[in-house]
Structure 1
Amino acid sequence: MTNTTEDPEHSSLTGLRTDGRDLVSEWRNLPAFDGLRAEYVWKKDDFDAADPESTDYLFGLFEHSHMQYETDRTNDVAGEPGLAEMVEKAILMLSKNDEGFFLFVEGGRIDHAHHDTLAYKALVDTLAFDDAVKTALEMTDTEDTLVIVTADHSHVNTINGNPKRGNPILGKTGDIALDDLPYTTIMYTNGPSGKEVMESFTNNGTRPNITDVDTEAPDYLQQALIPLQWETHGGEDVSLHADGPYSHLFQNIHEQNYIAHVIKYAACLGEYADACDSRVSAGAYQVYMFVSSNSVA
Structure 2
Amino acid sequence: MKMKMILSLPLVLAYIGLSLAQPKDYWYDLAKLSIENAKKLENLNTNVAKNIVFVLGDGMSIATVSAARILKGQQNLEPGEEGYLSWETFPHASLSKTYNTDHQVSDSAGTATAYLSGAKTKRGLIGVDDGGVRGDCASSVGNEIGSILRMARNAGKSVGFVTTARITHATPSALYAHVPERNWEADSDIPASESACRDIALQFLENDDIQVAMGGGRENFMLNTERDPETNRLGKREDGRDLIKEWVAAKSQLGTAKYVWEKSEFDAIDPPNVDYLLGLFSDSHMEYDIHPYFAGAPSLAEMTQKAIQILEKNPNGFFLLVEAGRIDHGHHAGAATLALTDTIAMDAAVTMAKSMTNDQDTLTIVTADHSHTMTFGGYPSRGNPILGLADDYGLPDLGSDNLPYTTLIYANGPGGVQTRLTYRNTGKRPDVTNEDTSSDRYQQQALVPLESETHAGDDVAIWADGPMAHLFHSVHEQHYIMHVMAYAACLDAGAPHCSP
Structure 2 residue corresponding to 1:110, chosen from 290, 302, 327: 327
1:246 and 2:468 are equivalent in the alignment = yes
Q: Could you tell me whether the CA contact under 8 Å between 2:490 and 2:498 is conserved in 1?
A: no
Q: Percent identity?
A: 54
Structure 2 residue corresponding to 1:3, chosen from 202, 224, 227: 224
| 1:155 aligned partner | 372
Cα-Cα RMSD: 1.4
Q: Could you tell me whether the CA contact under 8 Å between 2:324 and 2:346 is conserved in 1?
A: yes
- Note the C-alpha offset of 1:58: 0.6
Q: Could you tell me whether the CA contact under 8 Å between 2:300 and 2:345 is conserved in 1?
A: yes
The CA distance in 2 between the partners of 1:10 and 1:260, in whole Å, is: 38
| 2:262 aligned partner | 43
1:18-29 alignment, distance < 5 Å? 18-29=238-249
1:54 and 2:276 are equivalent in the alignment = no
Residues 128-153 of structure 1: CA deviation (Å, up to 9, x unaligned): 00110111111100000000000000
Residues 51-104 of structure 1: CA deviation (Å, up to 9, x unaligned): 1010111101111111000011x315x811000000000000000000011000
TM-score (norm 1): 0.89
Query: More relative contact order in 1 or in 2 (CA 8 Å, sep 6+)?
Result: 2
1:97 and 2:317 are equivalent in the alignment = no
Structure 2 residue corresponding to 1:231, chosen from 453, 458, 461: 453
- Give SS of 2:412's match: strand
Any runs of at least 4 consecutive aligned residues in structure 1 with deviations exceeding 3 A, and if so which?
none
- Note the C-alpha offset of 1:177: 1.5
Q: How many residues align?
A: 274
- Equivalent position amino acid for 2:420 in 1: M
- Equivalent position amino acid for 1:252 in 2: S
- Note the C-alpha offset of 1:280: 6.3
Residues 160-206 of structure 1: CA deviation (Å, up to 9, x unaligned): 12012321000001212211111000000000111110011111100
The CA distance in 2 between the partners of 1:214 and 1:25, in whole Å, is: 46
| 1:170 aligned partner | 387
1:1-297 alignment, distance < 5 Å? 1-11=222-232, 13-30=233-250, 33-34=252-253, 36-72=255-291, 74-76=292-294, 79-173=296-390, 174-269=396-491, 272-275=492-495, 278-279=496-497
- Give SS of 2:410's match: strand
The CA distance in 1 between the partners of 2:448 and 2:253, in whole Å, is: 55
The CA distance in 2 between the partners of 1:280 and 1:22, in whole Å, is: 44
The CA distance in 1 between the partners of 2:331 and 2:498, in whole Å, is: 44
TM-score (norm 2): 0.54
The CA distance in 2 between the partners of 1:90 and 1:180, in whole Å, is: 52
- Note the C-alpha offset of 1:35: 5.0
The CA distance in 2 between the partners of 1:213 and 1:201, in whole Å, is: 17
The CA distance in 1 between the partners of 2:481 and 2:411, in whole Å, is: 30
The CA distance in 1 between the partners of 2:298 and 2:426, in whole Å, is: 46
Listed as ranges, the gaps of 5+ residues in structure 2 are 1-221, 391-395
The CA distance in 2 between the partners of 1:190 and 1:255, in whole Å, is: 26
Listed as ranges, the gaps of 5+ residues in structure 1 are 284-297
* Residues 65 and 35 of structure 1: CA distance in aligned 2, closer, same or farther (over 3 Å): closer
The CA distance in 2 between the partners of 1:140 and 1:250, in whole Å, is: 20
The CA distance in 2 between the partners of 1:70 and 1:172, in whole Å, is: 24
Q: Could you tell me whether the CA contact under 8 Å between 2:373 and 2:453 is conserved in 1?
A: yes
